Structure 1
């Protein structure tokens, strides 16, 4: 077996897809890689193989806890992302009932107001201004905290915890564990308050959905706490990163896009889907799936007990599925892109993320059709999700 290639391939600077992914896509089957921590893994980079692995029940996420899993951080993720059926089915059920597309669509008017208010606050100060600090960060944190019922005065605390938990090398194991413990304590206390005093929020809806399950299949309090943490971190950090990423990509590559959305608001949906496909958000593939039996992947036999990583950013730039994949084209068929995953671990908050990204770009287009860059961005370092740390703009 060949020596595994050092991984991750992508750099912190910019949003380019590393050339090593292109080389991997022209190599028969998956390639062997070695991450900073854990055992070697197979890396899948082509769309059809990625989709197949994500949906194949012969691959286990739960085995991660029993192995030295390939990872970029000293500690592996917790909660729903590290489970298989039937536990995964049992734990995801409350979220599926409470976190619906209908609920996300009902929130659209509120999300629009939050996005417009953020843009107006930014323009109330002198240009240039940092779009990350004024729009990309506050919009999703406001939305997810309102949805979960997290008090406004506590939102800054979550950014610190989130930055630590999602750091790929900037935080040590003790920092990671301390931030995770703080999140669990806070979320557990809030969940207990919602149990005693129900409110019109997602946390109360999750509790009610849990109570509808049979007693022997209900999520425990600790499991529900971890679910809420996953929704909070996933609902905040990913959308904040992508809102900044999408804006930067459009301003640098398609400056006609925002004026076009201002003239035809419905175009925001097509642009969001194409940008979800186009932008390789993650610094690296993560969440290994272990073969529970020998499985053929792209003509290569993955032996039972071997881990496979799926490079979603590369798979969504696979020319066999998306012709001219490095060209931004909002009119292309983006069906089947993997930005939100696939199979049982498909992102539970995908519908809400779409609403936030559509309304975020829509607010910028309506209120600032002449938006342009006012300098070079700085880029996040040692972060699992790539994107600008600051994005100076003027209008």
Structure 2
């Protein structure tokens, strides 16, 4: 696999980003891809591992050493075919997956893993650029009808696979467009939505019928769908946020991430936000409660909306800068990570529990917190 001595001769090199000052001016993607020569060199670093632990790290079981070798040898089209054999939408994972495969890479033992995520993204992006990704229309029809409820990534992948098997597939989605949280949760600066649109076009050409603005249980009943289809697939997402039961929670200016983020995504996508109060961070001092990826998305969105400052509070202790590889590898380690949004100027504080929200005239003005230990005491 790859160049037998590649990992000895070449250091890890990855994609870069546009400067912070430039990228916060808009909601476009800001990753600067590597050129083809550098990508081939990085793919060549993939070792001929006896046990490729990257397979263990990858949630969709991508055949990572295989397509790394194909990129190294210049057979990009075969690499694309191999990548699609395990992943319907690698352009999504190549942008937003945290890359546990790289944590599991044998070369990560000395913090120098193969740039798997960048190679994956480059393969599928080249596939679109070259026109290699086309509808795969089935040669025969089964005569069976399948209804799928929920057009998020799971529903879309199920619909594509079933349509290619020859079934008549109908995908029911309560929103105006497909994609689920890919479209309405993840900000455009992490993944622009034209990537979803071209997959929808591909799927429509393969025979999938999309039913938008259709909420099952309101616009159509489950019994009606059961009568209409031979089988149903339930792929509804989880959109119920976890509340923070503290005094002052009812104050104006306290919002769920899942109210804040979809509003901005709809603005970028030129969709109406509906008859609701706009949530905007412009000229505000923003506090984000929660230190995970959703919190980071709120940070990046707030800066792009013109927030004066953003502070992120995490209830967990600050993790170590580096993990103990002897204890963690090849598993996903707990260690300090800084997202691109956090790099844009957020203040981060750890071991902080929110105890109350304070306001004046019904509007939030301050937050009361306390320091806690690992037992939340």
TM-score (norm 1): 0.22
Whose helix fraction is larger, Structure 1's or Structure 2's? 1
Structure with more contact order per residue of length (Cα contacts < 8 Å, sep ≥ 6): 1
Whose strand fraction is larger, Structure 1's or Structure 2's? 2
